[in-house]
Amino acid sequence: MNLNSPKALIITAPGINCDLELANSFVAAGARPHTELLQALVRDPSRIAGYDLIGLPGGFSFGDDVAAGRIMGALMARSIYPALRDAIHRGVPMICPCNGFQIAVQAGLLPGPVDASEDWPSTAAHATVALSSNSMARFVDRWTRVEIPSDTVCIWTKGLDCQKPDDMLPNAHGEGRFVAPQSVVERLEATGQIAIRYRACDNFNGSVSAIAGICDPSGLVFGLMPHPERYTRWTQHPQWTRVDASARQNEPLGLRIFKNAVRWVREDRRGAHFELGASAG
């Protein structure tokens, strides 16, 4: 790995179990991952300033004893939120799959300010969206087809073609149903913050508007319930031996998502403006 490659921070804590997959995905995309315990960052939040990308892995942080992601989200909100806020202002992309999405919502990182012209609050804002129990009231482990809105501002998914039958992502959660007031959903749609959707026939958890993931107004912070870090190699596809050989010449959707962000850090961040209250350029 090139020492000049972007440096990715993976924040882990008791119960997190997808940090290795996330690290491997960053490596495959051309970044250098480093795992740090939340407790170490709480003691020294300034460590976050040394990274170009950030990942909140999936799993069952603190056993999901109170609710999925709530304990870790609350700890982050009262300790390292200002450092994460500063990272967003610097233009640091952040990906939060599954439990990471739940944590980001609880920590006040998603859906973020009302629009990109507003400053991030100095303290974590109250959550305006939620990841609730699946409509079938049980844990589900399955692959689903997904689609990416053409107007999304999310730098992780923007511009990705997602029309092929093998453009799928794995899911594994019991509390992944995206819920929000209609006014919030309409605002997310108007500002391009819906980053990825389940195909209508694959909206297994009953998410409103089939929303599988959203981003903040800048497009940097990306939370989603599917696991793109579990689909960066064709051999991870559940029917990879049946996928046409010509299709396997293309990169899996998960890898394209990570490469999108690494490419943005390398090529586009220098031309973007992320001072307080500024939108992505």
Q: What angle do CA 102, 103, 105 make, to 5 degrees?
A: 70
Task: Note if 227 is an active site residue.
Answer: yes
Which residue in 18, 96, 98, 162 is the catalytic one? 98
The C-alpha atoms of residue 60 and residue 224 are separated, in whole angstroms, by 15
Using the 8-state DSSP alphabet, how is residue 61 labeled? G
DSSP code for 254: H
Q: Tell the burial category of 35 from Cβ atoms under 10 Å away from its Cβ (0-12, 13-18, 19+).
A: middle
Amino acid sitting at position 5:
S
Question: 186 with 171: CB under 8 angstroms?
Answer: no
| 3-class secondary-structure state, position 131 | strand
Selected catalytic residue, list 18, 21, 229, 237: 229
Residues 248 and 234: their CA atoms lie apart, in Å, by 7
Q: In the numeric block, which tokens belong to residue 260?
A: 């999108």
**Catalytic: which of 96, 173, 175, 227?**
227
Rounded CA separation 253/87 (Å): 26
* Amino acid (one-letter) located at 266: R
Phi-psi region of 35 (alpha: psi -120 to 50; beta: other; left: phi over 0): beta
Residue 229 is a catalytic residue: yes
Residues designated catalytic? 98, 227, 229
